[in-house]
Structure 1
């Protein structure tokens, strides 16, 4: 292991979810980086709806492995590197891709690393995550940040990478009429990124008026509630769905013009309203979906953050220490319109 001696009296703390609804804060030895790995001191970690699903036991069993330390949205500082890793990374602020893609299967070789056929493995779900003082990750997944990067804001680069993946599929063009369905974290980041493509209109659809007002500050030209949006069905060249609500996949397709493009970015649960295949065929819609983010999308998000196109920090509303994980996770998905992104700060 390369790096300065680690000043960690009492070891390293981590939140462990042993089974749905049961968690504990443990102290352990600092996990040393193995060959090809880096050890990161976590600066901030975001809690998202999928973390709440892990805690509640609602995540598909194929995509979680208990006991687990959650935390897939994070930023931190490299404090040590394992054998074969550039020692110059020590001291660098960084984020890292969550999917532990194999790099050799057909999907990986085609650049679709989030669809790796080598078996699902992801930081915070099947591998120890960032609700901890430290974590180790493969160095090949690391994305170093600028020296002056705000690591608190950078913790949101994982959802930003998902939005960047959607933008790659959406191919926004200047002068288009664009709608973003949902004004949560993904939706707000989508507004920021899509505003950079100079759309003629950029409407946000969300029932929460306060979220709509914030979207206007980020570059949206209109904030619509779902009823108002329904009167604009068939108007938009591009629709980016980010809510993952039961009805939003179907309603997003109705918003698009004939020949338009729809990208589904939200994660849907079983029982969501189906998309009308008659409408799809008669409207000749181009429909895409997003599962996570490829390495290329991560690169896009990190670059957009570095150039100031993305301002994730403005979405943070609550911060908690590791000891208050229970209170923090209870806020996520609780329905309070004043709750934006919730962070844990080890």
Structure 2
């Protein structure tokens, strides 16, 4: 490989630098991808601020786990026909051989945690090297900016698989951030009888209607809907939303938690849980099957993340970009880095 390749390196919490050097060399079984776009999410902000659990980050690190790009080179043993193809890739470096991986639950890999952008070099860079087995190829005409949101879309696809929506059901989505909006699009494809979004931000609620929701409510308004929904998909990760999501579900209903909760979050009432016979599941990351679902939905036009993108920055302005994420401005949606 020739030419320079830039990367954002977070040496320690609150400290980053832009490096310039030779592109990484793809090893055996790997590909080198030229990054087209990389999304910044709250997990990246937690890495930068030092709030991510120490078991799930390794400094110094090049962040960036939500990304898209084009294969530029391949390592030993990889089909050279991949060069030039648009792609995204799974973040978890699952071993593929443990019991959970053999059962298809690659996000529960027992081989130890390793993930692009957290313990392995990520995509806040001109190039990223990843195992070829993790690639999900895109259509040649795919919008690579929108495709950078396929990582959170895969998480939501995993939640939808877990929630098993059926036509005609009453469904609630708690939270209208990136995950919530993507959930609305995927759940709308299941032909629900109702698809209600709950978020305190009126502007986000209105956008959810454009994405396929039938109604938008504030948390206060949603109290009148307790016990109504067959399926509740929680995406906010706010201190109270795990408990409030269980209150929204009908007796015997299903609740899927996708938000990343912090210590001190309000617990689920075990009395309500047992008397209501709720099925409660959580989602962390996405297995390979959910990635396949998300990429297929994107290719079919069932998933259109582009309207969620509100800001794009070059690598040199990473400091400004990461400051926007979690800053509280309701007009800030998905923030992208465009190397």
CA distance in 2, matches of 1:288, 1:34: 37
* Partner residue, 1:3: none
Q: What is the CA distance between 1:280 and its match in structure 2?
A: 0.5
Which residue number in structure 2 is paired with residue 55 of structure 1?
A: 48
Aligned residues of 2:2 and 2:23 also touching (Cα < 8 A)? no
SS of 1:114's equivalent in the other structure is: helix
Partner of 2:200: 207
> What does 1:83-102 correspond to in 2, within 5 Å?
83-102=76-95
What's 1:193 paired with?
A: 186
After TM superposition, the structure 1 = structure 2 runs for residues 2-41 of structure 1, keeping only pairs within 5 Å, are 8=3, 11-41=4-34
Return the match for 1:318 from 282, 287, 311.
311
**CA deviation after TM superposition for structure 1 residue 142, in Å:** 0.5
Please show how residues 147-296 of structure 1 align to structure 2 within 5 Å. Answer: 147-296=140-289
Judge conservation of contact 2:37–2:67 (CA < 8 Å) in 1.
Answer: yes
Runs of at least 4 residues off by over 4 Å: none
Distance, in Å, in 1 between the alignment partners of 2:327 and 2:164 is 34
**1:145 is the counterpart of 2:138:** yes
Match of 1:116 in 2: 109
Cα distance in 2 for partners of 1:325, 1:51 equals: 11
Residue 103 of structure 1 pairs with residue 103 of structure 2: no
Q: CA RMSD in A?
A: 0.6
Shift of 1:62: 0.2
C-alpha distance in 1, partners of 2:282/2:9?
32
Distance 2:194 2:306 in 1: 25
Q: TM-score, normalised by structure 1?
A: 0.97
**Distance in structure 2 (CA, Å) of the matches to 1:302 and 1:7:** 31
State the secondary structure of the residue aligned to 1:238.
strand
1:22-79 CA-partner distances (Å, limit 9, x unpaired)? 0000001110101000000000000000000000000000000000000000000000
Kindly state the Cα deviation for residue 318 of structure 1 after the two structures are TM-superposed. 0.2
Indicate the SS of the match to 1:140.
helix
User: Matched residues in 2 for 1:232 and 1:297: separation?
Assistant: 30
* Rounded Cα–Cα distance in structure 2 between residues aligned with 1:292 and 1:264: 12
Q: Are 1:78 and 2:71 an aligned pair?
A: yes
Instruction: Find the aligned partners of 2:237 and 2:51 in 1 and give their Cα distance.
Output: 15
**Number of residue equivalences:** 339
SS at match of 1:124: coil
Structure 1: gaps spanning 5 or more residues = 1-5
Mapped partners of 1:121, 1:195: distance in 2? 33
Alignment partner of 1:339 is 2:332: yes
1-structure distance, mates of 2:2, 2:329: 39
Q: 1:122 is paired with a residue of what secondary structure?
A: coil
**1:7, distance to aligned residue in structure 2 (A):** 5.8
Residue 77 of structure 1 aligns to a residue in which SS? strand
| TM-score calculated relative to the size of structure 2 | 0.99
**Inter-partner Cα distance in structure 2 for 1:111 and 1:291:** 15
